[in-house]
């Protein structure tokens, strides 16, 4: 395959600097929106406790688990707020802690993924190495996710590594959340967080991983248009599956310093100027991602 246009052929240095500019306003709005959705998920069931609001609330919470992880990821790249210290604080305390994740450990791990994407040294290669897979295989994977097998396996590993000296902020957050819900007379609603994390979020994370690298044309090539995928999403998939512009993954791997709130505009400009011509790195919705992830019969 021809290597196509280079980035410098379609994007000037001045345009690149513009896309790399961070906005405290945009970052704050993104952060507040994610926490507002979490608040809304619980508020719905407190005010209108019924099966429908519980189901909607669980789905919203699962999507925001992804959302907090995405913000932590962007803060780990120092690509969210203008100030690196603010990125560190938000990524660790407002996004990592509720999910029992250490942003600093994640940063070291994830930068190796960018450095070695698609190669045997890529720490994430195990998640996507075998794609495309058979229809039966992908069905088994999602059954494990939706029945809690994936999450219980991961939680067991976390429990084995649990240290109160490190995990106490996570315990404080969850005790505070439970106490607040008990105070408003809906302590039972705390279980929604765990239903979302144990039975819905693993499938969401798997979908994201498949879209990012599982359906790439050639993972062994050090060209983001070959070893990475971008997924253009309808509004409901953005809300429930892939928030905060995380679908624009080719663009992120090309330029990890660009904040997430600028990725859509970058994608549109690159597409308009033919940067993706000749490459099959863009999918439209997770339905198309799943079809690409299944081996042709």
Question: How many C-beta atoms surround the C-beta of residue 138 within 10 A?
Answer: 19
Contact criterion met (CB below 8 Å) for 227 and 118: yes
- Model pLDDT for residues 222-274, shown as the tens digit of each residue: 899 999 999 999 999 999 999 999 999 999 999 999 999 999 999 999 999 99
Report the half-sphere exposure of 56 (CA within 13 A, side-chain side): 16
Region 129-158: what's the mean pLDDT? Answer: 96
Q: What is the DSSP string of 164-199?
A: HHHHHHHHHHHHHHHHHHHHTT-GGGGHHHHHIIII
Question: How many C-beta atoms surround the C-beta of residue 231 within 10 A?
Answer: 26
Question: How many C-beta atoms surround the C-beta of residue 261 within 10 A?
Answer: 19
Question: According to the model, what pLDDT value does residue 3 have?
Answer: 67
Closest C-alpha to 191, from 168, 174, 203: 174
93 Cβ neighbours under 8 A, 6+ residues apart: 169
- Model pLDDT for residues 171-191, shown as the tens digit of each residue: 999 999 999 999 999 999 999
Residue 64 clears pLDDT 50, i.e. is over it: yes
Contact criterion met (CB below 8 Å) for 229 and 218: no
């Amino acid at each position: 395959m021809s290597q196509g246009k280079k980035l410098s052929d379609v994007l000037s240095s001045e345009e690149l600097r513009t896309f790399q500019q961070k906005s405290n306003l945009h970052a704050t709005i993104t952060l507040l929106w994610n926490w507002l959705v979490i608040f809304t998920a619980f508020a719905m069931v407190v005010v209108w406790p019924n099966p429908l609001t519980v189901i909607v609330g669980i789905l919203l919470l699962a999507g925001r688990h992804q959302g907090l992880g995405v913000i932590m990821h962007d803060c780990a790249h120092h690509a969210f707020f203008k100030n690196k210290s603010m990125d560190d604080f938000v990524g660790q305390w407002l996004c990592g802690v509720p999910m029992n994740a250490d942003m600093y450990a994640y940063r070291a791990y994830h930068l190796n993924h960018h450095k070695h994407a698609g190669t045997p040294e890529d720490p994430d290669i195990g998640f996507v190495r075998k794609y495309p897979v058979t229809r039966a295989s992908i069905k088994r994977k999602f059954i494990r996710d939706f029945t809690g097998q994936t999450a219980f396996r991961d939680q067991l590993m976390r429990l084995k590594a649990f240290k109160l000296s490190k995990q106490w902020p996570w315990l404080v957050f969850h005790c505070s959340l439970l106490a607040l819900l008990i105070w408003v007379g809906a302590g039972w609603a705390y279980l929604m967080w765990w239903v979302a994390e144990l039975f819905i979020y693993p499938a969401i994370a798997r979908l994201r991983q498949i879209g990012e690298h599982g359906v790439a044309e050639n993972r062994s090539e050090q060209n983001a248009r070959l070893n990475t995928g971008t997924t253009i999403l309808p509004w409901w998939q953005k809300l429930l599956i892939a928030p905060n512009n995380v679908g624009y993954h080719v663009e992120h791997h090309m330029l990890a310093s660009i904040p997430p709130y600028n990725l859509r505009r970058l994608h549109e400009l690159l597409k308009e100027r033919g940067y993706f011509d000749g490459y099959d790195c863009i999918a439209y919705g997770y339905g198309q991602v799943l079809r690409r992830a299944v081996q042709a019969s």
